[in-house]
Amino acid sequence: MRTRTFVTAALLAGAALFGTAGGAVADTPSPSASGGAEGPTEAGTSFRTATPVQPGQRATAGASTGDYLYWAVPVDTGQRATMKAKVTLPKAARHGSATWQLDVYDGLRRRQACTYGAQTRAAAADAASVELSCTLRTVRSWAEQSSNDPLPGTYFVRLTVTDLPQDDLGLPVHAEFEPTVAGTGGAYAVDGKLAAPLVPGAAAASPKDGESASPEPSASASAAGKRSVAASEPEGGWSSGRWSDRWVWTAAGGVLAALAGIGGYAMTRGSGRPSRVPPGV
Protein backbone atom coordinates (compact mmCIF):
# COMPACT_ATOMS: atom_id res chain seq x y z
CA MET A 1 0.00 0.00 0.00
CA ARG A 2 2.82 2.36 0.90
CA THR A 3 4.57 1.67 -2.42
CA ARG A 4 1.37 2.28 -4.38
CA THR A 5 0.82 5.58 -2.56
CA PHE A 6 4.39 6.67 -3.30
CA VAL A 7 4.09 5.85 -7.01
CA THR A 8 0.78 7.76 -7.22
CA ALA A 9 2.39 10.80 -5.58
CA ALA A 10 5.33 10.63 -7.99
CA LEU A 11 3.00 10.52 -10.99
CA LEU A 12 1.01 13.50 -9.73
CA ALA A 13 4.21 15.48 -9.16
CA GLY A 14 5.41 14.65 -12.65
CA ALA A 15 2.12 15.74 -14.17
CA ALA A 16 2.32 19.04 -12.31
CA LEU A 17 5.88 19.65 -13.50
CA PHE A 18 5.08 18.92 -17.12
CA GLY A 19 2.00 21.10 -16.87
CA THR A 20 4.26 23.98 -15.74
CA ALA A 21 6.63 23.34 -18.63
CA GLY A 22 3.74 23.28 -21.05
CA GLY A 23 2.56 26.59 -19.64
CA ALA A 24 5.99 28.09 -20.28
CA VAL A 25 5.74 27.07 -23.92
CA ALA A 26 2.19 28.37 -24.21
CA ASP A 27 3.27 31.79 -22.89
CA THR A 28 5.40 32.40 -25.98
CA PRO A 29 3.95 34.84 -28.50
CA SER A 30 1.60 33.46 -31.12
CA PRO A 31 0.72 34.82 -34.53
CA SER A 32 -1.83 37.58 -34.34
CA ALA A 33 -5.17 37.24 -36.03
CA SER A 34 -5.66 38.64 -39.48
CA GLY A 35 -6.13 42.38 -39.45
CA GLY A 36 -3.67 43.63 -36.85
CA ALA A 37 -3.59 47.00 -35.13
CA GLU A 38 -3.27 50.01 -37.37
CA GLY A 39 0.36 50.93 -37.95
CA PRO A 40 2.26 53.46 -40.08
CA THR A 41 0.64 54.84 -43.22
CA GLU A 42 3.84 55.19 -45.23
CA ALA A 43 6.84 53.16 -46.32
CA GLY A 44 10.49 54.01 -46.77
CA THR A 45 12.26 54.03 -50.11
CA SER A 46 15.59 52.53 -48.99
CA PHE A 47 17.23 50.61 -46.14
CA ARG A 48 18.09 53.86 -44.36
CA THR A 49 14.56 55.23 -44.52
CA ALA A 50 12.68 51.98 -43.82
CA THR A 51 9.54 52.57 -41.76
CA PRO A 52 9.54 50.73 -38.38
CA VAL A 53 6.61 48.34 -37.87
CA GLN A 54 5.95 46.24 -34.76
CA PRO A 55 4.76 42.63 -35.11
CA GLY A 56 0.97 42.56 -35.12
CA GLN A 57 0.64 46.00 -36.69
CA ARG A 58 -0.73 46.55 -40.18
CA ALA A 59 1.12 49.19 -42.16
CA THR A 60 -0.27 50.79 -45.32
CA ALA A 61 1.27 52.92 -48.03
CA GLY A 62 0.32 54.51 -51.31
CA ALA A 63 2.88 54.22 -54.07
CA SER A 64 3.45 54.05 -57.79
CA THR A 65 4.14 50.86 -59.71
CA GLY A 66 7.91 50.48 -59.85
CA ASP A 67 8.64 52.07 -56.45
CA TYR A 68 10.64 50.22 -53.79
CA LEU A 69 8.81 50.03 -50.43
CA TYR A 70 10.80 49.29 -47.26
CA TRP A 71 9.71 48.41 -43.71
CA ALA A 72 11.81 47.48 -40.66
CA VAL A 73 10.62 44.81 -38.21
CA PRO A 74 12.31 43.73 -34.92
CA VAL A 75 12.54 39.94 -34.49
CA ASP A 76 13.95 38.45 -31.29
CA THR A 77 15.56 35.18 -30.26
CA GLY A 78 13.33 32.10 -30.56
CA GLN A 79 10.79 33.80 -32.81
CA ARG A 80 9.66 32.70 -36.26
CA ALA A 81 8.49 35.69 -38.28
CA THR A 82 6.00 35.75 -41.12
CA MET A 83 5.92 38.78 -43.41
CA LYS A 84 2.71 39.31 -45.36
CA ALA A 85 1.99 41.93 -48.01
CA LYS A 86 -1.01 42.73 -50.18
CA VAL A 87 -0.92 45.04 -53.18
CA THR A 88 -4.18 46.47 -54.48
CA LEU A 89 -3.66 47.04 -58.18
CA PRO A 90 -5.05 49.97 -60.19
CA LYS A 91 -8.43 49.64 -61.84
CA ALA A 92 -7.16 51.33 -64.97
CA ALA A 93 -6.55 49.09 -67.96
CA ARG A 94 -3.13 47.47 -67.79
CA HIS A 95 -1.06 46.16 -70.67
CA GLY A 96 -0.09 42.77 -69.23
CA SER A 97 0.77 40.74 -66.15
CA ALA A 98 3.13 42.04 -63.45
CA THR A 99 5.39 40.05 -61.11
CA TRP A 100 5.63 41.28 -57.51
CA GLN A 101 8.28 40.17 -55.02
CA LEU A 102 8.78 40.36 -51.25
CA ASP A 103 12.41 40.22 -50.04
CA VAL A 104 13.60 40.03 -46.41
CA TYR A 105 17.07 41.11 -45.21
CA ASP A 106 18.61 40.91 -41.74
CA GLY A 107 20.49 43.65 -39.87
CA LEU A 108 23.63 42.93 -41.93
CA ARG A 109 21.54 43.24 -45.12
CA ARG A 110 21.93 39.57 -45.92
CA ARG A 111 18.98 38.25 -47.88
CA GLN A 112 17.13 35.63 -45.84
CA ALA A 113 15.53 32.56 -47.35
CA CYS A 114 11.83 31.78 -46.83
CA THR A 115 10.89 28.40 -45.40
CA TYR A 116 7.48 28.62 -47.03
CA GLY A 117 5.11 31.17 -48.49
CA ALA A 118 4.56 32.79 -51.88
CA GLN A 119 7.47 35.23 -52.00
CA THR A 120 6.99 35.99 -55.72
CA ARG A 121 3.68 36.10 -57.56
CA ALA A 122 2.47 37.19 -60.96
CA ALA A 123 -0.71 39.24 -61.20
CA ALA A 124 -2.75 39.01 -64.38
CA ALA A 125 -3.67 42.15 -66.29
CA ASP A 126 -7.22 42.03 -64.88
CA ALA A 127 -6.29 41.02 -61.29
CA ALA A 128 -7.57 43.30 -58.53
CA SER A 129 -4.82 42.48 -56.03
CA VAL A 130 -1.88 40.20 -55.31
CA GLU A 131 -0.82 38.74 -51.95
CA LEU A 132 2.66 37.62 -50.91
CA SER A 133 4.13 36.08 -47.77
CA CYS A 134 7.47 34.88 -46.44
CA THR A 135 8.02 32.82 -43.29
CA LEU A 136 11.60 33.00 -42.04
CA ARG A 137 13.58 30.40 -40.15
CA THR A 138 13.56 30.59 -36.36
CA VAL A 139 15.86 33.34 -35.10
CA ARG A 140 18.85 31.99 -33.19
CA SER A 141 20.64 33.65 -30.28
CA TRP A 142 24.07 32.80 -31.71
CA ALA A 143 25.59 31.46 -34.94
CA GLU A 144 28.93 30.91 -36.64
CA GLN A 145 30.33 33.93 -38.48
CA SER A 146 30.43 32.04 -41.77
CA SER A 147 26.78 30.95 -41.57
CA ASN A 148 23.72 32.77 -42.81
CA ASP A 149 21.54 31.84 -39.83
CA PRO A 150 18.99 34.49 -38.82
CA LEU A 151 20.04 36.40 -35.68
CA PRO A 152 18.05 38.75 -33.40
CA GLY A 153 17.77 42.30 -34.65
CA THR A 154 16.10 44.47 -37.26
CA TYR A 155 14.80 42.79 -40.39
CA PHE A 156 14.19 44.83 -43.53
CA VAL A 157 11.30 43.95 -45.83
CA ARG A 158 11.29 45.19 -49.41
CA LEU A 159 8.25 45.07 -51.69
CA THR A 160 8.53 45.87 -55.38
CA VAL A 161 7.47 44.82 -58.86
CA THR A 162 10.17 42.97 -60.79
CA ASP A 163 8.59 42.46 -64.20
CA LEU A 164 5.82 44.36 -65.96
CA PRO A 165 5.08 46.11 -69.27
CA GLN A 166 6.90 49.41 -69.63
CA ASP A 167 3.64 51.28 -70.22
CA ASP A 168 2.35 50.26 -66.75
CA LEU A 169 5.15 51.96 -64.82
CA GLY A 170 3.92 54.73 -62.55
CA LEU A 171 0.34 53.49 -62.11
CA PRO A 172 -0.91 54.07 -58.53
CA VAL A 173 -1.09 51.10 -56.16
CA HIS A 174 -1.99 50.60 -52.51
CA ALA A 175 0.20 48.33 -50.36
CA GLU A 176 -0.56 46.68 -47.02
CA PHE A 177 2.11 45.03 -44.88
CA GLU A 178 1.66 42.98 -41.69
CA PRO A 179 4.41 41.09 -39.80
CA THR A 180 3.60 38.42 -37.22
CA VAL A 181 5.86 36.39 -34.93
CA ALA A 182 5.40 33.02 -33.22
CA GLY A 183 7.49 31.70 -30.32
CA THR A 184 9.07 28.29 -30.94
CA GLY A 185 10.16 27.53 -27.36
CA GLY A 186 13.37 25.79 -26.32
CA ALA A 187 13.44 23.33 -29.22
CA TYR A 188 15.61 25.77 -31.20
CA ALA A 189 17.64 27.14 -28.27
CA VAL A 190 21.44 27.12 -28.42
CA ASP A 191 24.02 27.58 -25.67
CA GLY A 192 25.67 30.73 -27.06
CA LYS A 193 24.24 34.21 -27.43
CA LEU A 194 24.89 37.32 -29.48
CA ALA A 195 26.56 40.21 -27.66
CA ALA A 196 23.99 42.65 -29.06
CA PRO A 197 21.11 42.46 -31.56
CA LEU A 198 21.86 43.43 -35.16
CA VAL A 199 20.29 46.89 -35.15
CA PRO A 200 21.92 49.19 -37.74
CA GLY A 201 22.64 52.70 -36.47
CA ALA A 202 22.14 51.90 -32.77
CA ALA A 203 25.81 52.61 -31.97
CA ALA A 204 26.40 55.29 -34.58
CA ALA A 205 27.01 57.94 -31.93
CA SER A 206 30.09 56.20 -30.48
CA PRO A 207 33.35 57.75 -31.80
CA LYS A 208 36.02 55.46 -33.19
CA ASP A 209 39.46 55.07 -31.66
CA GLY A 210 41.69 58.05 -32.46
CA GLU A 211 38.80 60.31 -33.40
CA SER A 212 37.61 63.25 -31.37
CA ALA A 213 34.11 63.13 -30.05
CA SER A 214 31.58 65.12 -32.03
CA PRO A 215 29.87 68.12 -30.44
CA GLU A 216 26.98 67.41 -28.11
CA PRO A 217 23.87 66.81 -30.24
CA SER A 218 20.87 69.02 -29.82
CA ALA A 219 17.94 67.90 -27.67
CA SER A 220 15.70 67.41 -30.71
CA ALA A 221 18.31 65.32 -32.54
CA SER A 222 18.93 63.21 -29.43
CA ALA A 223 15.20 62.61 -28.95
CA ALA A 224 14.80 61.67 -32.61
CA GLY A 225 17.67 59.20 -32.33
CA LYS A 226 16.16 57.58 -29.24
CA ARG A 227 12.80 57.25 -30.98
CA SER A 228 14.46 55.67 -34.01
CA VAL A 229 16.32 53.09 -31.91
CA ALA A 230 13.29 52.40 -29.72
CA ALA A 231 11.08 51.92 -32.78
CA SER A 232 13.34 49.10 -33.98
CA GLU A 233 13.05 47.15 -30.71
CA PRO A 234 10.34 44.67 -29.64
CA GLU A 235 7.75 46.07 -27.27
CA GLY A 236 9.22 44.17 -24.31
CA GLY A 237 12.86 44.84 -25.23
CA TRP A 238 15.45 42.39 -26.51
CA SER A 239 15.78 39.07 -24.70
CA SER A 240 19.23 38.20 -26.16
CA GLY A 241 18.80 34.59 -25.10
CA ARG A 242 18.41 35.27 -21.36
CA TRP A 243 15.59 32.76 -20.95
CA SER A 244 14.65 29.48 -22.55
CA ASP A 245 11.88 27.10 -21.53
CA ARG A 246 14.45 24.36 -22.07
CA TRP A 247 15.48 25.11 -18.47
CA VAL A 248 12.01 24.08 -17.27
CA TRP A 249 12.10 20.80 -19.19
CA THR A 250 15.59 20.02 -17.89
CA ALA A 251 14.54 20.64 -14.29
CA ALA A 252 11.34 18.61 -14.73
CA GLY A 253 13.30 15.70 -16.20
CA GLY A 254 15.78 15.77 -13.32
CA VAL A 255 13.03 15.73 -10.69
CA LEU A 256 11.17 12.90 -12.42
CA ALA A 257 14.38 10.86 -12.70
CA ALA A 258 14.98 11.29 -8.96
CA LEU A 259 11.40 10.29 -8.14
CA ALA A 260 11.66 7.25 -10.41
CA GLY A 261 14.87 6.17 -8.68
CA ILE A 262 13.34 6.51 -5.23
CA GLY A 263 10.18 4.69 -6.33
CA GLY A 264 12.19 1.84 -7.85
CA TYR A 265 14.19 1.43 -4.67
CA ALA A 266 11.01 1.43 -2.56
CA MET A 267 9.45 -1.33 -4.70
CA THR A 268 12.51 -3.61 -4.80
CA ARG A 269 13.90 -3.38 -1.27
CA GLY A 270 11.29 -5.84 0.18
CA SER A 271 9.68 -5.90 3.60
CA GLY A 272 12.98 -5.86 5.52
CA ARG A 273 12.68 -9.47 6.88
CA PRO A 274 14.72 -12.44 5.62
CA SER A 275 12.86 -14.66 3.14
CA ARG A 276 14.10 -17.87 4.82
CA VAL A 277 14.76 -18.74 8.46
CA PRO A 278 18.10 -20.55 8.90
CA PRO A 279 17.80 -24.18 10.12
CA GLY A 280 18.02 -24.67 13.85
CA VAL A 281 16.73 -21.23 14.73
- The per-residue pLDDT for range 60-77, each reduced to its tens digit, is 999 999 999 999 999 998
CA–CA dist 203, 195 (Å, integer): 13
CA–CA dist 271, 207 (Å, integer): 77
Q: Is residue 263 part of a domain?
A: no
Q: Is residue 18 part of a domain?
A: no
CA–CA dist 96, 126 (Å, integer): 8
Amino acid (one-letter) located at 104: V
Q: Are 179 and 84 in contact (CB under 8 A)?
A: yes
| 3-state DSSP of 76-130 | CCCEEEEEEEEEECCCCCCCCCEEEEEEEECCCCCECCCCECCCEEEECCCCCEE
CA–CA dist 6, 165 (Å, integer): 77
> For the chain, what is the domain count?
1
Give the pLDDT score at 183: 82
Top pLDDT among 97 and 252 is at 97
Amino acid (one-letter) located at 190: V
For residue 156, which of 70, 55, 33, 220 has the smallest C-alpha distance? 70
246-268 helix and 2-26 helix, angle to the nearest 10 degrees: 170
pLDDT tens digit string along 123-177?
999 999 999 999 999 998 877 777 888 889 999 999 999 999 999 999 999 999 9
Q: Is residue 8 part of a domain?
A: no
pTM for this entry: 0.65
CA–CA dist 183, 162 (Å, integer): 33
Residue ranges making up the domain that contains 46: 29-203+219-244
Q: Is residue 121 part of a domain?
A: yes
Could you tell me the CATH number of the domain that includes residue 71?
2.60.120
Q: What's phi and psi for 38, nearest 5 deg?
A: -65, 130
Query: Which band of pLDDT confidence, cut at 50, 70 and 90, is reported for residue 249?
Result: low
Q: Is residue 7 part of a domain?
A: no
Distance (Å) of CA 9 to CA 4, 20, 23, 168, 270: 9, 17, 21, 73, 20
CA–CA dist 166, 64 (Å, integer): 13
Q: Write the CB contacts of 255 (distance below 8 Å, at least 6 apart in sequence).
A: 13, 14, 17
Q: Are 108 and 192 in contact (CB under 8 A)?
A: no
Residue 226 has pLDDT above 50, yes or no: no
CA–CA dist 231, 57 (Å, integer): 13
Q: Is residue 253 part of a domain?
A: no
Q: How many CB atoms lie within 10 A of CB 189?
A: 19
Q: Are 18 and 36 in contact (CB under 8 A)?
A: no
Q: What's phi and psi for 235, nearest 5 deg?
A: -60, -35
- The mean predicted confidence, pLDDT, of the chain is 76
Q: Write the CB contacts of 88 (distance below 8 Å, at least 6 apart in sequence).
A: 128, 129, 173, 174, 175, 176
Q: Is residue 191 part of a domain?
A: yes
Query: Which band of pLDDT confidence, cut at 50, 70 and 90, is reported for residue 254?
Result: confident
Query: Which band of pLDDT confidence, cut at 50, 70 and 90, is reported for residue 276?
Result: low
Average pLDDT of the segment spanning 105-129: 93
Q: Is residue 90 part of a domain?
A: yes
